[in-house]
Amino acid sequence: MREKITIALKQAQEAGEKRRIATLRLIQTALKDRDVAARESGRDGVTEDDVIDILEKMVRQREVSAQEFEESGQLDLAEQERAEGEIIREFLPQKLDEAEIRSICEETVRDINAHGLRDIGRCMSELKARYPGKMDFVQASCVVKDLLRSDGPKNVDTPPKKAGEGG
C-alpha cells in the first residue's frame, strides 16, 4: 500500500495536481509518525492493518471537518475536505455493500453457533479477523444485533417439557 501511495505521489507531481500532492504527503507523514511511535514501543513499524486504520481515521476526520465547515457556511473548505477524503479513500480496500455485509453476518452467526445478544462480541471478533478493513463494523454490529435478537428465542437450547412436568 505504501508503494501505491509513493507511485501516486510521483504521478501527481508530474501532473502538477497540488491538492493531490498535499494530501498524499499528509498520508506519508502520518505513516512515518506512526512508524516512529511503533519503533519507540519496540515494534518493527506499522502493519498493513495499521495503515488501513490510519487511512480510515484520516477519512473520518475529513468527513467531520467537512460537515463542520458546511454548517459554518464555509463551503469551499468543506469541499476541500471532501476532496481530500476521496483521495485518501482510493487507497483503502473496497468496502462490502449492505447486502454482502448481511450475508456475511448471517454466515458468521451460523459458523460460530451464536444464540443470543451475549454472543455479539464473539461474532464481531470473528468478523474483524476475517474481514479487516473491508467492512463497516458499526453497520455489521447492527446487523448482528438484529440477527441475534430475532434468532435469540428460536435458538434457546432448552428441551420441550414432557407431558406431566410442572411448569
The DSSP call for residue 161 is: P
Q: Do 11 and 64 fall within a single domain?
A: yes
The predicted structure's pLDDT at residue 158: 41
Question: Whole domain around residue 128: which residue ranges?
Answer: 98-155
Model pLDDT, residue 20:
95
Residues found in the chain: 167
Distance CA 143, CA 47 (A): 29
For residue 63, the domain's CATH number is 1.10.1510.10
DSSP H helical ranges for 41-117: 48-71, 75-89, 98-111
Our count of domains for the chain comes to 2
Q: Residues 44-85: pLDDT tens digits? A: 888 888 888 899 899 999 999 999 999 999 999 999 999 999
Please say which residue of 89, 121, 145 terminates a domain: 89
Q: How confident is the model at residue 152 (pLDDT cuts 50, 70, 90)?
A: very low
Q: Phi and psi of 80, rounded to 5°?
A: -60, -45
> pTM score > 0.85 for this model?
no
How does the average pLDDT of the chain come out, rounded? 86
